[in-house]
Amino acid sequence: MAIVPEPVLVVGSVAVDSIITPRATRDESVGGSAVFFAMAASYFAPVRLVGVVGDDFPQGALDDLARHQVDLVGLQTVPGGKTFRWKGRYHENMNHRDTLETHLNVFESFEPKLPAAYRDTPFLFLANIQPTLQLDVLEQAKGPRLVGLDTMNLWIEIAREDLARVLARVDVLTLNDEEALQLSGEHNLVRAARAIQALGPKNVVIKRGEYGAVLFHGDDVFVTPALPLDEVTDPTGAGDSFAGGFMGYLARIGDLSGEHLRRAMIYGTVLASYCVEGFSYEGMDRLTLDAIQQRFDRFASLTDFSRASLV
């Protein structure tokens, strides 16, 4: 029986970054949460993107997204406007970074508007934008099967009430370990996840950078390490690429059981591993499903201890 993937919709930022790492620098590096998510998810399912850019956004990036069959009807272009720009410097271990410049530009007044054809999209991912905008998108959507959401420490600090309102309507929350502790007020990740589940999300994915990620699904816990890599070129967008692989796989398979949520964690990790191997989305741009599956199988072999024996 042929697989018929369902569409997935992402609402988030589209940006142009300047990246400084200990070994290289890249100006005019296309990024943004919606771009990384869309590139990763496009290998599994049709993607619809809602965001905003100025007319300075590189046409080549739009062509690349279109080549990946990403529907860009929902991407607003502001004539004469400037695209959201971010500049950051990574530390030697690539786990931490400093923000040097942030220019919101057209993103500052972004008001997501879902085209009519997008409103019944069954899989919806609300990338890291203000909780009030995430709520507005949920009001426009018509009964999605699965709603995923990402957030950050800023919204936890200054918009907690709005964030609580949106969390009550979310199925999957992705956030990093520091954010999980901040949101929950706990000092232990397991207790933090349980406290966050009580706010609404049945599934909580805590991202731990080079240490992998943890899925809390109901009462179950699933831990996945990160894939060991010889070289990390640019960690920017790894979390959004993970979310794209995670949500894209679920949209492809259409099964939201615990077994497939676990598989989605691995596919998300695989796409994140490709992302960090290049600047921008270059590491994910020209993959094949065969290559993705081979890396999935390699990952599975690294964590397989089922044949272990004491005798």
What is the model's pTM? 0.96
By three-state DSSP, how is residue 269 classified?
A: helix
Which contacts of 162-165 are long-range, i.e. CB under 8 A and separated by 24 or more positions? 162/130, 162/131, 162/132, 162/135, 163/131, 164/199, 165/131, 165/135
> Model confidence over 258-290: pLDDT tens digits?
999 999 999 999 999 999 999 999 999 999 999
| Residue 1 pLDDT exceeds 60 | no
Place of tokens 């990790």: 269
Mean pLDDT of 12-20: 97
Are 172 and 148 in contact by the 8 Å Cβ rule? The answer is yes
Helix 177-184, helix 189-197: angle, nearest 10: 60
Res 307: pLDDT: 65
Res 93: pLDDT: 82
Token digits for 296? 């999935």
Sketch the domain layout of the chain as residue ranges.
11-302
At position 244, the amino acid (one-letter code) is G
By three-state DSSP, how is residue 41 classified?
A: helix
Res 205: pLDDT: 98
> Model confidence over 172-210: pLDDT tens digits?
999 999 999 999 999 999 999 999 999 999 999 999 888
CA distances from 145 to 86, 159, 256, 281 (A): 33, 26, 9, 28
Mean pLDDT of 245-266: 96
The residues assigned a catalytic role are 240
CA distance linking residue 47 with residue 71, whole number of Å: 6
Q: Rounded mean pLDDT of the chain?
A: 94
CA distance linking residue 274 with residue 291, whole number of Å: 10
Q: Which of 116, 113, 109 is nearest to 142 (CA)?
A: 116
Which CATH architecture best describes the domain 11-302?
A: 3-Layer(aba) Sandwich (3.40)
